[in-house]
Each structure stands twice: as structure tokens, then as C-alpha cells.
Amino acid sequence: MNALISTASNVLQDTRGRVATLILTCIALAIVFSFWDGLGDLWMRWGQQQELSHSYFLPLITLWMLWERRDALTRSVGAPALSGFVVAGAGMFLLFLGALTHIMVAVHLGFVLTLISLPLILGGWSLFAISVVPLAYLFFMVPPPYWVITRMSHSFQLMSSALGVDMIRMFGIPVELSGNVIKLPTETLQVVEACSGLRYLFPFLSLGALAGYFYKGPLWQRVAIFLSTIPITILMNSFRIAVTGVLVDRYGTGHTEGALHFFEGWVVFLMCIAFLMLVIWAFTLLRGQKSPLAFVGFETVPARTPTGTWTQPAFVRNGVILTAVILAMGVFVHAVGNRTILIPEREDFDTLPFEFPEWTSRQATLDVEVATTLGADDYIIADMTGPDGQYVNLYIAYLDAQRDGRSWHSPAQCLPGGGWEPVRHDIEATERLNGERYFRNRMVIEQGDDQMLVYYWYDQRGRKIANEFMMKFALMWDSLVKRRSDGAMIRLMTPVMPGETVGDAEARLNAMQRELEPKLPRYVPN
């Protein structure tokens, strides 16, 4: 009799195991099917952008963290929770939004949220509590949008350049800084995007999070360890720039390339790790220990008391519902996600007339490398000269579709990189010729004794927008509703001439804008 009962129990356990495996397999296949395009984009960006190449290892680290918690996970399985569908629903919404707008970061975030929802849906809140930290670590594998990377890169360039110049001066070398241009007595160095430090920051952030995970201490100390990676990265990148500057000053440009390659790789990254260990050591000293490893290591995660009793019917119910929801969204995404983006007809900027009364104009072109970096489908640069020597520069960059990272470099980032220092930056209201009100950016910038007034705004499918974040929201909405993502960035600049005030320059730009406005709709469609 006992043998019969034992056999029946084993058969039941085996059946439950096969059912659970089948449900989990179906969910995994549904996720891969629905997020296929997003996963492909993720893999592509990891391979193309050096600052993201570490991301290949992050899913493996997550699996390893889950494996370390396997005993606690097994003993924390509770009643499957329907509330987990709220998290899964957020993931599905981001998938839907990303598919329609072609903003892939939404798809990437939706993928991670969907994975995070699985323990809650299938094993309850107790299982979720044990697994959420390892699964949340996957957020570090999601690349920021291209425009965020561009903004961060410019900011890091400016900070690293300023600190690097201060370090060079410590060696008694006279040096000047103009934006991202470092002027040594005999040479000039350009701190380009590759020198911004982002190639260290993104992998170092994920490493800092891992260090905080292993550190056995109060939460605030763990957070401090993680956040310390940002100033450490800036400091070490500035040190690399300073070393390069000193070598160039002492030995000439022949040593520059070798120094950059030597310091841009593992050497600087290992120095960052050393500084991170110093931060950890400082916290261990505060807690009365001398060894920096005293509070670092594997921490046994206790199991949580199961929230309710796990039952196979509830598990199957939630698993089937989740699979159906993910598959339905996947079918929708593949059906409409590749829909054609509408590109309106327009005239090329080559035909834009410049018959401004008493003004002469000359068109300029960008060099091939700069034009490739900007990636505009059409652009125009016009230098206009007035009868009394006044000067106005017009730059318009147009994109047929803002997707796959194609967007504009904001003048608020580019101009400081060229050595111009912003004195004032406002968003001001103005009016079209028809009386319609809109907003534009107004900047006053200086370089030495020279002063310049700048207007710029984003002309987006009938909207004139000053704020970049509002421009991104409008882009998502119009991609969803109008199936359009075209638009232009328009910039007008004029110097404040000797004997003039900023008000005189403002009157000149306003007059030029009024002349330009009625001509634009043929080239920048509403």
C-alpha cells in the first residue's frame, strides 16, 4: 500500500513538473516571438556601440545571481498572483508603443518589465521579492536613447576637458580651454565624443551596481557605492586627457595616439575599479574594519514565507492567460509594427529663395565627416550679409524620419563644445505672421570679446517646439496618430556688432525670421 501511494505521489510530481515546463516553454517562446525585433535591435546596438559592448555579459550575471538564490527561490514559491498582470501590462504597453513609434528603447524596457512580472504571476509576492533584484539588474543592458547619449556625451566632454586642463596646469604647462578644444603652447587637442568617458561610464555603472549588491552594509552605503561610479569616471577620464596633454607638450604629437590607445582601454578601467575599492574600503573603516573585503561577498538571502499556497490550477491559469496576452500583442506588433512611415512631399533646400532686400547670401556645405555624423536627409547653411556689414547665419537640418537614433544635435550642446560660453538661455514666446503663438530658444553666447545671439526651434509636422523633451513627446504622438516622424531643426545666429546691443541683434534676427517664415512650408511640411 505504501509503495502504491509513493508511486502515485511520484507520478503526480512528475506530471506537475512536465506541466510547469510546458507552461514556461510556451511563455518563453511567446516572449521571443513578440519581442523579436527589439531583441535584434538590442543585439545590434551592443555590437555597434563600444560603450555598450559589456551588455552581452549582463544577462549571464543575472542568471548567476538567480542561481545563487536558487534555494531561497525554491522555498519562496507561493500562490500565483493576478496582480502581476499589471506589471506585464506595462510591458505590453511599452511593446505596443515602441512598435508603432519605432522608439526601440520602449520595446527594450517592455521586455525587462515582462520578465520581472513572471515570478509574481507564477509564484506570488514571496517569489517576486527574492527575484526582483537580479531581474531588475537587466535594466543596465537597455541602451539609453541616442539623443540621451548625445546630451550626456557633450556634458561629459565639457566636464572632462575642464578637469583635464586643471590637471595639465599642475605640471606648469600653460594651457587654454575653449569648449572642447585644449590649446597647448605647441599643439591643439580636440576632445571628441570618443573621449567623453561614456565608454567607461556605462560598464562602470553596471559594475558599481554589482559592487553594491555584494557589499554587506546599510542601503545608503550601497547606493553611495553605486553613485560614486559617476565622479570616478569623470575624474579618470580627465586624468587620461591630462596625461595625453602632458605627453604632447613634452614629446610631440607622435606620442598622442599611442597614449590615447594605452589609456582608453583596460588601464583606465582598472584605475576606476581601484578607486571604487577605495570607496568600499572607506565605508569598511567607518564600520571598524581594516580589510576592504570585510563586508564584501556572497550574502545568504533568506527565503520568504510563501504568500498563500501554490496550486497547479492557478499556475496553469495564469500561465495560459499570460501566454495568450503576449502572443496576441506579438501578432499585433508584427502586423502593424512594420507599417510604412509617411514621408510628405517637399522641395529641396537648394531651391530656397534668398531674395532678402539689400542682403547678399552665400551657401556653405559641411565636410563629409560632419555631414555623416549629423545624418540629415537635407540641410542648408546660408551666410547672409547686410548692406552695413551685418551678418546672419541660417542653418536648417531636415529629417524624413526620426528613427533608429536619427535626430538633431542641439545647439545648446554643440555651441559650447566649439568654445562658445552660454551667457543666457531662455525659452521665449513669439508669434507667426498669422498671429499664432509659439516658443523658441533664445541664447546669448560669448567667446572672448565676441558675443552672438542665437534663435533655434524644432519645426515638427506643423508644430514649432522649443523644448527637446516636448519635441520627443510630440514625435511619439505623431508617429502613433499621423504615421509621420519628419521634421526640421532651424537655427538663426548673428553677432552683436561693435557699437550694437543685444537688442539690435534681436531686431535683425526677428526681421530675418519674418522674411524666412512664409518660404518654409514648401521645404518643411506642416
Residues 428-468: tens digit of each pLDDT: 888 777 778 888 899 888 887 788 899 999 998 888 988 88
pLDDT tens figures, 116-152: 999 999 999 999 999 999 999 999 999 888 777 777 7
For residue 439, what is its C-alpha cell? 516658443
Mean pLDDT over residues 503-514, rounded? 88
Res 64: pLDDT: 93
pLDDT tens figures, 190-227: 665 545 567 778 889 999 999 998 888 888 999 999 99
Write the Ramachandran bin of 431: left for phi over 0, alpha for psi from -120 to 50, otherwise beta: beta
Res 78: pLDDT: 92
The CA distance from 425 to 440, in Å, is 11
Q: How many CA atoms lie within 13 A of 343 on its CB side?
A: 10
* Banded pLDDT at 366 (limits 50, 70, 90): confident
Whole-model pTM: value is 0.76
Write the Ramachandran bin of 76: left for phi over 0, alpha for psi from -120 to 50, otherwise beta: alpha
* pLDDT: which is higher, 255 or 127: 127
Write the Ramachandran bin of 469: left for phi over 0, alpha for psi from -120 to 50, otherwise beta: alpha
Partners of 445 in beta bridges: 422, 452
Res 10: pLDDT: 45
- pLDDT surpassing 70 at residue 257: no
* pLDDT: which is higher, 372 or 90: 90
- pLDDT surpassing 50 at residue 6: no
* Banded pLDDT at 58 (limits 50, 70, 90): very high
Residue whose cell numbers read 559592448: 53
Mean pLDDT over residues 382-393, rounded? 85
Mean pLDDT over residues 99-127, rounded? 92
* Banded pLDDT at 92 (limits 50, 70, 90): very high
Residue 222: its H or E element: helix 219-227
Res 189: pLDDT: 73
Res 265: pLDDT: 61
* Banded pLDDT at 7 (limits 50, 70, 90): very low
* Banded pLDDT at 12 (limits 50, 70, 90): very low
